[in-house]
Copies of this chain bind each other. A is one copy, B any other.
């Protein structure tokens, strides 16, 4: 099985880190094919940026579909997810959605802990879009807005542990999701310090992508697919997929 790990951010170090975690989760079950965006933003942190990066993600997927069994959009906030799911005939998962659905099978109420209040509106919208708002206790962050995403795992580690404890004790969460690619891999390191299950979204997303692929459901013939459409200015691979009529 081959999984496309699409990082819609431009930061290669982040892709490398996530790919390493993905390979650990995949083991011998799947080959990980990592991709880093060649345009867009170093690190997506808003709905405006996600709008643009989501389109870039669609192109990245279209250009690299060959031999792929499932796709992971490797950014919490899931840029391009709804469109990709509609368009491509294979499983596509997002880090936020996969973390949320996984959390919902491990506990009753989940919190998202992340590194900056700048992420809160976008992440909140994203969780609410899953439909699981009634089981969501909110996003918890440190107060400081200015952060160096390459250092948050070390600089803010104590703060994040405290926030996770607060989410459990005050907000009633029994699962804590560590949201945002810069926190990839932190979950197992702090699990002993948090009185709840802690979820690493990239691990959850990779595991869910393999799960969905393993079910071998049939995508052909879905009426929910868009009708064929001409386009201008898209990458050729994406344009061709959008232009292809599916039988209905």
Interface residues of A (CB under 8 A from B): 10, 25, 29, 38-43, 45-52, 54-55, 58, 80, 82-87, 91, 93, 97-98, 101-102, 104-109, 118, 120-121, 124-125, 128-135, 145-146, 168-169, 172, 174, 187-188, 191-192, 194-200, 203-204, 207-208, 210-212, 214-219, 221-224, 226-227, 229-234, 242, 248
Contact = CB atoms under 8 A, between A and B. Distances in A.
Nearest to A214: B207
Given A45-B226, A212-B102, A221 B207 contact: no
A169 to B, nearest CB: 7
B102 A85 contact: no
A41 B83 contact: no
A47 B105 contact: no
Given A39-B232, A104-B131, A108-B121, A198 B218 contact: yes
B224 A107 contact: yes
Contacts of A82: 47-48, 51, 108, 125
Nearest to A203: B215
Contacts of A25: 214-215
Which of A48, A58, A87, A214 has most chain B Cβ within 10 Å?
A: A48
A66 B196 CA distance: 23
B41 A230 contact: yes
Contact of A105 (B98, B218, B229): B98
A122 to B, nearest CB: 9
B227 A145 contact: yes
B105 A104 contact: no
A210 B212 contact: no
B223 A52 contact: no
Contacts of A133: 131, 134
A83 B211 contact: no
Which of A52, A101, A128, A195 has most chain B Cβ within 10 Å?
A: A52
A55 B51 contact: yes
Contacts of A86: 46-48, 121
Given A41-B231, A221-B192, A83 B48 contact: yes
A45 B227 contact: yes
21 contacts: A39-B232, A45-B227, A46-B87, A47-B82, A47-B83, A48-B84, A51-B51, A51-B82, A51-B83, A52-B55, A55-B55, A85-B106, A85-B107, A131-B131, A168-B223, A187-B217, A195-B221, A197-B222, A198-B218, A207-B215, A208-B211
